[in-house]
């Protein structure tokens, strides 16, 4: 419905960053450029030789692989079950996390339930208590900030894709998307390739 409304409003092209589901592209009849903020976020995060990239659920595996290509680190995958809109239960961990420093990557943080379940499960499995979290869209809905502040998160990095409507965690680091968007607009006007900026590249 939203895709249809955008088209009916007269827009000829849409530029999106790290869509929650790639299938969303199929709902648009006008060109949609699906960009990724992974390179900007990967440049901002600090890693060590014992860091492992963590996909907090199966939906984040492709994103984790994108970070793996940029950071050259192993990937661990978590299986979760969503109990409710704000509650998540961790079922299993695929990969070695013992004595590792986890870098949890996701496209967005809403209530913080997925990050909380992932961090607690990783700690129980023996990872180091210095968790890093990287997510493109930092929504921080409901109890998110309070949840995240109870976890041993050393780095919490997101972008300014949405305007903050609540108090942000004190250690939240914001990566500016303006250069990526400006570069995209310039390339579109010059009819240049966006290949290295796209989410699937």
Q: How far apart, in whole angstroms, are the C-alpha atoms of residue 70 and residue 67?
A: 5
Mean pLDDT of 41-48: 96
Mean pLDDT of 119-140: 95
pLDDT digits (tens, 9 = 90+) for 14-43: 999 999 888 899 999 999 999 999 999 999
E-only strand ranges, the chain: 14-17, 32-35, 51-55, 75-84, 87-94, 101-109, 131-138, 153-159, 172-175
Q: How far apart, in whole angstroms, are the C-alpha atoms of residue 27 and residue 38?
A: 24
Length of the chain: 201
Instruction: Please report, in angstroms and rounded to a whole number, the separation of the first and last CA atoms in the chain.
Output: 28
pLDDT digits (tens, 9 = 90+) for 1-14: 999 999 999 999 99
Burial of 190 (0-12, 13-18, 19+ CB in 10 A): exposed
- Average pLDDT value for the chain: 92
Q: How far apart, in whole angstroms, are the C-alpha atoms of residue 177 and residue 17?
A: 9
| CB atoms near residue 160 (< 10 Å) | 13
Q: How far apart, in whole angstroms, are the C-alpha atoms of residue 107 and residue 22?
A: 11
Domains and CATH numbers, the chain: 2-36+180-197 (no CATH), 38-175 (3.40.50.2020)
Does the pLDDT at position 86 exceed 70?
A: no
Q: Is the pTM of this model over 0.95?
A: no
Catalytic residues: 80
pLDDT digits (tens, 9 = 90+) for 104-124: 999 999 999 999 999 999 999
**Under 8 Å CB-to-CB from 84, ≥6 apart: which residues?**
none
Kindly tell me the sign of the dihedral angle through the C-alpha atoms of 65, 67, 71, 73. Answer: negative
């Amino acid at each position: 419905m939203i895709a249809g409304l955008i088209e009916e409003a007269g827009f000829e092209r849409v530029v999106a960053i790290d869509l929650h589901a790639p299938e969303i592209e199929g709902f648009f009849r006008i060109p949609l450029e699906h960009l990724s903020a992974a390179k900007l976020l990967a440049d901002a995060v600090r890693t060590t030789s014992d860091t492992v990239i963590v996909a907090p659920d199966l939906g984040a595996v492709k994103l984790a692989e994108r970070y793996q290509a940029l950071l050259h680190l192993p990937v661990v995958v978590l299986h979760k079950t969503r109990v409710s809109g704000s509650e998540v239960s961790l079922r299993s961990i695929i990969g070695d996390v013992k004595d590792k420093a986890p870098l949890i990557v996701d496209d967005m943080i809403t209530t913080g339930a997925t990050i909380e379940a992932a961090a607690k499960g990783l700690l129980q499995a023996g990872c180091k208590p210095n968790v890093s979290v990287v997510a493109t869209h930092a929504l921080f809905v409901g109890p998110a900030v309070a949840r995240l502040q109870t976890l041993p998160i050393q780095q919490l990095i997101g972008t300014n894709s949405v305007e903050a409507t609540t108090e942000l965690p004190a250690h939240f680091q914001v990566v500016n998307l303006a250069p990526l968007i400006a570069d995209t607009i310039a390339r579109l006007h010059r009819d240049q390739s966006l290949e290295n900026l796209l989410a699937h590249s």
